[in-house]
């Protein structure tokens, strides 16, 4: 009888630990994940990943009128790797002209940025910012 007690306590402790770890992981995943496919750069017309969304697998040097100067939130879900262009640079003008309004590292999500809001008109994947 006395031998089984410590084992049962350990099992209970491990179960509690596993449950709390699982909760922590689920919470952090939900907080970070904007709705954007893996490998893509996504841009929305409204803040907090709402409004119209466009998903880009590659460069777009000429954002169409419904997104040009309408961008308000951004997510870089690009795949990272050595010498892989996994950053995204967003430019004020079409054809990558003018200021870089925002540069996103891989995995970075920006729900709003006052300096970049409604300014972007083209973007390119890059190895860095």
Residues forming contacts to Ca ion in the complex (CB under 5 A) are 45, 70, 72, 118
Indicate the residue among 75 and 86 with the shorter CB distance to Ca ion.
Answer: 75
Measured from the CB of residue 47, what is the shortest distance to Ca ion in angstroms? 7
Measured from the CB of residue 26, what is the shortest distance to Ca ion in angstroms? 31
CA–CA distance from 1 to each of 6, 13, 15, 104, 114 (Å)? 10, 19, 22, 60, 66
Indicate the residue among 70 and 109 with the shorter CB distance to Ca ion.
Answer: 70
Measured from the CB of residue 76, what is the shortest distance to Ca ion in angstroms? 18
Indicate the residue among 45 and 68 with the shorter CB distance to Ca ion.
Answer: 45
| Beta carbons within 8 Å of 79's beta carbon, 6+ residues apart | 38, 39, 86, 106
Indicate the residue among 7 and 66 with the shorter CB distance to Ca ion.
Answer: 66
Kindly provide the residue ranges of all beta strands, DSSP E only, lying in the chain, ordered along the sequence: 41-46, 50-56, 73-76, 87-91, 100-104, 109-110, 122-126
Locate 48 and state its tokens. 């907090």
Query: Which residue number has the CB closest to Ca ion?
Result: 72
Measured from the CB of residue 8, what is the shortest distance to Ca ion in angstroms? 58
Q: For the chain, what is the radius of gyration of the CA atoms?
A: 21
């Amino acid at each position: 009888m006395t031998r089984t007690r410590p084992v049962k306590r350990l099992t209970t402790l491990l179960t509690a630990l596993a449950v709390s770890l699982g909760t922590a992981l689920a919470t952090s995943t939900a907080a970070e994940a904007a709705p954007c496919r893996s490998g893509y750069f996504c841009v929305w017309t409204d803040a907090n990943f709402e409004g119209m969304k466009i998903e880009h697998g590659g460069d777009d040097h000429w954002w169409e009128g419904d997104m040009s100067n309408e961008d308000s939130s951004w997510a870089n879900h690009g795949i990272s790797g050595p010498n892989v262009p996994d950053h995204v640079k967003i430019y004020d003008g079409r054809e990558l002209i003018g200021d870089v309004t925002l540069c996103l590292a891989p995995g970075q999500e920006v729900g709003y940025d006052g300096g970049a809001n409604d300014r972007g008109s083209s973007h390119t994947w890059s190895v860095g910012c």
